[in-house]
Amino acid sequence: MNIALIMAGGVGERTHQDIPKQFLNVFDKPIIIYTLEAFQSHPDVDAIMVPCLSGWEEILWAYAKQFNITKLKWIINGGATGQETARNGALALKEICTENDIIIQHDAIRPMVSLDIISDCIVKAKTYGTGLAAMRCQETIVRSIDGIKGNSSINRWEIMRVQTPQAYRYGKFLWVHEEAFSRGITDAVYTNTIMTDLGEEVFFSLGSDKNLKITTLEDLDMFKALYKTERDAWLKSV
């Protein structure tokens, strides 16, 4: 079984809006629904769980009904941090999943995720145990402590930009979050950072610059532009 865990516990402070960014409407549809539709339409996704910001659960159920998100089976409480939200999901799945089921963790605010990205994420997780959407870094990287100045460069070919979705076998996913909690690790950005902190190796899957994470109003503008853009027919696919 492949279960999508869509992370929707954040409040979206950097957009400075009155409602959480995952519930902002774009072209008369909440951002989270664009995300859920991607997993709803993927043939290999069996069910969806959403750890949700407290107070928004009934609103999300109503949106799911309105937009026919039939794979949404569970809405649970999110957490104060992304790590706590993911751990809540891991614990809630104890009575649902077997050790080798695949959990696909994804940000609710990455609405441009493609079917190909989801597919490769699942394939890599089934093959290697993990599958993290990621890309090579194209920019020059300079190490800085204060964000004002720097004095050394980092080889960009030694760096991967990790996105979501991130897929894991459930047994490992649960172990990582329980182990982190027992060790007092509480401030990890994503599950993959906990894994590497615990000495685990991770494997990469297909990523994309279009797989945008909406954290600012500028990101929202880019999402609107990307959503309305069609690739010219004469361009070759790669």
pLDDT digits (tens, 9 = 90+) for 83-120: 999 999 999 999 899 999 999 999 999 999 999 999 99
Query: Both tokens of residue 89?
Result: 């999901």
124 or 20, greater pLDDT: 124
pLDDT greater than 60 at residue 173: yes
Beta carbons of 106 and 164 less than 8 angstroms apart: yes
Percent of the chain clearing pLDDT 90 (strictly above) = 74
- For the chain, the residue count is 238
Q: Give me the sign of the Cα torsion angle 17, 90, 77, 63.
A: positive
pLDDT greater than 50 at residue 235: no
pLDDT greater than 90 at residue 141: no
pTM, 2 dp: 0.91
The predicted structure's pLDDT at residue 204 = 97
Question: Per-residue pLDDT tens for 195-232?
Answer: 999 999 999 999 999 999 999 999 999 999 988 876 55
pLDDT level of residue 147 (50, 70, 90 thresholds)? confident
Instruction: Report how far residue 101's alpha carbon sits from residue 212's, in angstroms, rounded to the nearest whole number.
Output: 27
Question: Per-residue pLDDT tens for 13-69?
Answer: 554 567 889 999 999 999 999 999 999 999 999 999 999 999 999 999 999 999 999
pLDDT greater than 80 at residue 8: yes
SS3 29: strand
Query: Both tokens of residue 10?
Result: 């954040």
pLDDT level of residue 71 (50, 70, 90 thresholds)? very high
Non-local CB neighbours of 152 within 8 Å, separated by 6+ positions: 142, 143
